[in-house]
Structure 1
Amino acid sequence: MQPAPEPANEDDRLRALQTSGLLDSPAEERFDRLTRLAQRIFNVPIALISLVDRERQWFKSRQGLDICETSRSVSFCGHAILGRDLFEVADAHADPRFADNPLVTGEPGIRFYAGAPIHDHAGHALGTLCLLDQQPRRLTERERLCLRDLADCVADEFSTIDRHKLASVARQTTNSVIITDRNSRITWVNEGFTRMTGFSLHEARGQSPGQLLQGPKTSLATVGEMRKQLAQGLGFDVEVLNYRKDGHPVWVHITCNPLLDAHGALDGYMAIQSDIGKIKAVEQLKRELTVTISHELRTPLTSLTGALDLLDEGAVSQLNDSARRLIGIARKNSQRLRRLIDDVLDMEKLLAGQMRFELSPQPLLPLLERAIEAHQTYAVDRAVRLNRVDDCPDTVIVTDPNRFQQVMSNLLSNAVKHSPDQGLVTIHARISGPCVRIEVVDQGPGVDEAFRERLFQPFAQGNSSDPVNNNGTGLGLAITREMLEQMNGRIGLDCSPDQGACFWFELPRADSAMIQPDRMTVEK
């Protein structure tokens, strides 16, 4: 006798079996119906739904057999769960793996075995639907297909158990829970959904959540990201402004995950929505306070900066070297504070949707040349060379030319600032699908891996111990990301330790299907 080896994913498989709730559960007619059907269709004395546990196989449903379990070491099903195909033994007496098996030499006297493995939604083989006979035989191809179909029915019932467990948990949560089919049409919602939105299950069923809940101020960019993920069968995690049945807006955080059937195929989605209105209200209050303070600082700061400029240029009286040095320090810090205030106000305009974008087809080459020319003086002062590599010289992109220059200014100034003396900053433009990718590559120290997750967040700064490279506002990259998203673009970083940084961004080409004519001018 040859006991079956363990599957490669045995620990995960056993964990899935234990959490399924199937082991040692009471008999259920829906499973007994399927084993009776198998017994009759194939004209066999014994039909079983067998679950292969660590040391035993336990029968969830059985026809023609009195015992409810056997040792796993003598089980045929232990062999069947090793693959996805049907496992068949035409004559156990002639098979050296089973000829001396006690289930063959003794009761129930197995000569023929056929088992179709049953997998859960994650692909774990929990057990089999199997047929046993005391006579040798071989299934026809049609019979094999029929047994596979019946096993799939058992797997669907296992999946239904999972859905019932999901629904049971969802009923007890105060959050909103939505379950949809694979086409994103609502099949079930909990009471938390009704409390949050005002829509009942009867009103919501069959509709898409977007059609039901999105409104005039729902972010099109966020909607686009959700649709993109769903089109790929993936989930998402977003914050979005939805609308109740009475038209009242409500900020929600949505976590959506795909639901898979017994064969790992997409079967629908489950989304959990939580009300974050109070959090958003506090954030809005903080932003308003920041903007108010920034505006109040701007006027006296302008006067202060002007006075320092006059003093530094000797317009009032001659200053000794010590006084001139102090005035120079004060002037530089007042300019830095002015940049910080301007960045804070720009960031608030972006977040509040008050910054206007004039999107239009623009030749890429003049835009890049203008950006590089604007930074030549700064690069020369830092002994850094700027080099352009253009693989798409005739390309036309859709962008706001002024905002494009702001994006390039942030990336180029960062690259020059972080470059070593005699360093090189390369600006590389190339086609990337329906977009153009512009890369700004420096030869600096790169970006610490621990810092990369926060890189595009407001006020994020790297090594605070470096006085040369830490004199920014911490808002430049956050503003850059927001601007690019408003222009149907995106930004990212490719970086290896001690090999410099490659910041890249993409914008759609003018001939790309990504561009919608009615959104060429947008006030975001």
Structure 2
Amino acid sequence: MQAPDQPANEARRLQALRNLRVLDTPAEESLDHLTELARELFGVPVALVSLVDENRQWFKAKAGLDVSETGRDVSFCGHAVAANDALVVTDTHTDPRFADNPLVQDAPHIRFYAGHPLRPLDNMPVGTLCLIDYRPRSFSDRERRLLAGLAGQAEALLRETRLTAEMTYTAKRFETIFFTSATAKIRIDRHGRIIAINPFALNLLGYEEADVVGHNVAMLAPPDIRPHHDGYIDRYLAGHEPRVIGKGREVDAMHKDGHLIPVHLAVNAIHDDNGQVDEFLGVLTDLSEIQAANRRTQKEQELLSVLHQGITDYQALMSGKKLWSFLMEALRDLTNSDYALIGEVLHGNEGNALKIHAITDLSWNAASRRLMEQLRSGDMTLSRADTLLGRVFAHGEVVMTDDLYHHPKRGGFPPGHPRIDNYLGVPIYSGNDLIGMYAIANSHQAPDEALLEWLAPFTATCALLINLYRQMAERDRNLEDLALANDQAQRANRAKSEFLSSMSHELRTPLNAILGFAQLLASGRRNPLSDKQTRQVGQIEKSGQHLLSLINEVLDLAKIESGRMTLSLESMSLAHVMEDVCQTLEPNADASGIRILFTPPPPEWQIHADYTRVKQVLFNLISNAIKYNRADGQVAVSATEHDDALCISIADTGPGIAEHRQHELFEPFNRLDAENGAVEGTGIGLAITRELAERMDGSMGVESTPGEGSTFWFTLPRSYRASTADSGDDTRQPAGDFQQQTLIYVEDNPANQRLMEDIIDDVDGLSLRIAPSAEMGLEMLRTTTAAVIIMDIHLPGMDGYEALAALRRDPVLAHLPVIALSASATPRDINRALDAGFNDYLTKPLEIVKLMETLERYVVT
């Protein structure tokens, strides 16, 4: 036996069958008549409307057969559905697909089958109209067409059955939604009459169904709206822009007993099959609880707003002497009271007194007005403990009454005093300390425990503000002292910065000439020096560089202290940077008779740090190890792993440092008594070195034994990325040849002028013109075609910034590159110049290689 194949679109086919909504439903008379007609028409004993689902074929209509379903695996109709085409089997015994089918071999012994697929929805075959006979027979083309026509009728009847089921389902849903809904719903006809109303609406509005059905819906609207109600419907039906229908809005509905109910009204028009408005459906949502909650929320927000403003704007309110009046008026608004006061409790030997900070005017004559002014100004305090106020500020009691004139603790009111009907007095505590009170009178809501509890946050805020008020005088004194100390510190810091800047400029200016001419003499190609002269010039340059390093150390310390030290952190090879520094310092060590024992770390060890600053740290530590060593000593440089860091150690064979003095090593300007020795230094190198290590997320320390030597170590974070640091190779490259270009140098210092002349004299194709002032430089530019300008900042008369501004305003000269050259070398000076519009910035002492590199960027070669 061959089971039916499963169609490729089986999922869609089954969904169409489910959408038909006829599986396992009662028999339909129309479909039963159709199968009877088919049986009579074709003269067969059995005719079926068969629907094929996942596992079976189920008979929606059957004529001549008692069973209602069979398995899909033995069904003939499954083959017609799989092929989505008519299936005719004239003799099952001769058809190998069905010869051994149980329905052929056993009852009902099918010998003939003809089935046409049914596609009532989405053109998906969900079953067949089929004919069955118990004897073989032929089936003509005419009979095939007749079967197809009857199948079309079956499809139409199936669609009609589905539509009827949907309408029944929709009607039941509508009835359920309408009558059992927890929302008020009203059906209204085109004339405004109520057709139906659900129980929820009746309960909301207080009516019985008979009271409203058949009546105009306007009866449910407030009196001022009723006359216009029918006009809303008429205008909508006439095609005008709707005001309520289809929009929804908040309105008031009239309860049967006459009170108004806030509701949200949504009215929808319901159209018939012709598109005409048939009726309207009104949906009312009770907003009573929402509006009550909104009112409560609004009151809470008002309270929170007062508390927030009182705390956040405390300084402004207090400085303007408005805090207490602000709190008093806020208390009146929050409680809807006519009168209020707020005051501070003063403790004395004879008991508590009340200093009133704010009070509503209760005066009724001239004498009472003077009394109110005294109370407001704080010149007068209240001390009687037997009054309603006294019960609060003297005894810390809460006093509340809504019948003041019959209260047992009430004192008398003088003639003319405004009437007071209710009263609430509340003590203000800070811990167990009574520090103040407030009171309200003639509140529009009776004072009770609920009001007292609601005001608890206000009471707590008042406690906080009174404490702050009491601390204000002391705080002001402290602020004055702090301001004075801060002014002194700022003046000292400015003086230090000005001193450092001035020192840097004044020292760098002569160093520019010293180092510049030393470099020229050492590298002179036209007049080379003798070996002795080369050594002498080298000593000049070495001493100048030492002096420059001392200046840089002081400036580095200033940067660190001011927080202006910037770092460029990247991954780099530890071995490379250690080897670089050791090779640089090896001549120094040889000159001092010291051996450097460098143990290279594995090449794969990487650190995450600033390359230049790592070199500076190593340079400082190894230089110190060389300087503070014994004759024929040694310096061991090595590295070890330490968790996620690498530890670099520099061990010397010097005199060592006593443990009780080791902490002094890192104090700026402390040289541990070495200032009287032969070794030069500022005493700030180690302080800078440790700061640099810590700024790179590392640490630094020392281990030392007197007489045996010291080991300085520092750690840096380990990196597992490929090294990206620059190798630090500063091998000098010869300057390129310039094609007859002119450089204008604006400089007033003769030594610096001569230095620049000697430098440019060795450069082919570049001529130099010097202007001793900015004014002369600008005049020179108007008659000379220049490729680039190098300008000193500190010039007599017009300074470099003014000269730059004049250049940039001149349309002919504005494009020229201008390079600043100054002895002012702080980051602030450099950033200021670049922000002003200089193209680049060079510092004195001038590095000739850097000068050449800079010129090559701006002068066409």
- Fold match (TM-score > 0.5): no
Tell which has more relative contact order, 1 or 2 (C-alpha 8 A, sep 6+). Answer: 1
Larger radius of gyration: 2
